[in-house]
Amino acid sequence: MNRVELELYLNDTLQTAQFRDYCPNGLQVEGRSEIKKIASGVTASLAFLEAARDWGADAVLVHHGYFWKNEDARITGMKRKRLGLLIGHDISLFAYHLPLDAHPELGNNAQLGKLLGFADDGGRFGPDQLGWLGAPAQPMTLAALAAHVETQLGRQPLMLGDPGRQVSRVAWCTGGAQGFFEAAIAAGADVYISGEVSEPTQHLAMESGVGYLAAGHHATERGGARALGEHVAERFGLEHRFFDMPNPA
């Protein structure tokens, strides 16, 4: 399909105009006009780009792209290598940050909730209503939920709070959204799941009595790019492959 056609479809599907983000959403690096093979991944790292290039991708689709607010604008070092690979092989880079977190079906939060078997009750909280609320398939302890998260994500989450606390209402927001913890507490959650953790998070969990699971920034955000890549591949007859580059963070 044509690159411009794909860009317009992605921008419309993810409603990019509704978000004030820390980076440009959409086409960040322009490559060849015809797209037959698209690779998806969490972050446009050099290792990911090399894997996509070797597979023969015409375009790559990621959650974490480039040109973040307040970053050094010079094209040197790591940035020069990444951009050099894309431009040198005529590969387009599509990147969607907050719009991919928020999409009600293909987004990171929707996909994490689906993977963990949470029933979405339609509750939302936090900036831009990015945080989700719902319930586990059945009430369980915080320790049991942590074990379930580990099984589904393939990595042990950091658990803060009373392991024996009963959990019937869950709040979650993928990635580096530990700052939404207080909003999750105010929304009535028994536990909040995100990707990262900060020093104050421990105190907030202990003093509020609400559990916290830091399940990994990368691990909690693998779903969105893959789901979006699969979606456009099926809709437009493209060949798609998701590259899950190992990342312990």
> What residues form the annotated binding site for a divalent metal cation?
63-64, 101, 217, 221
Residue environment code for 152-187, b if the CB has 16+ CB neighbours within 10 A, otherwise e: ebeeebebbbeeebebebbbbbbbbbbebbebbbeb
CA distance 40 to 200: 34
Pairing type for strands 170-172 and 191-194 reads parallel
User: Which sign, positive or negative, has the C-alpha torsion 229, 234, 239, 244?
Assistant: positive
Neighbours of 139 (CB within 10 A): 13
Element (H, E) at 95: strand 92-95
CA distance 133 to 135: 7
125: phi then psi, degrees, rounded to nearest 5? -155, 170
Specify binding-site residues: 63-64, 101, 217, 221
DSSP secondary structure string, 116-181?
A: HT-EEEEEEESGGG-EEEEE-SS-EEHHHHHHHHHHHHTSPPEEES-TT-EES-EEE--SS-GGGH
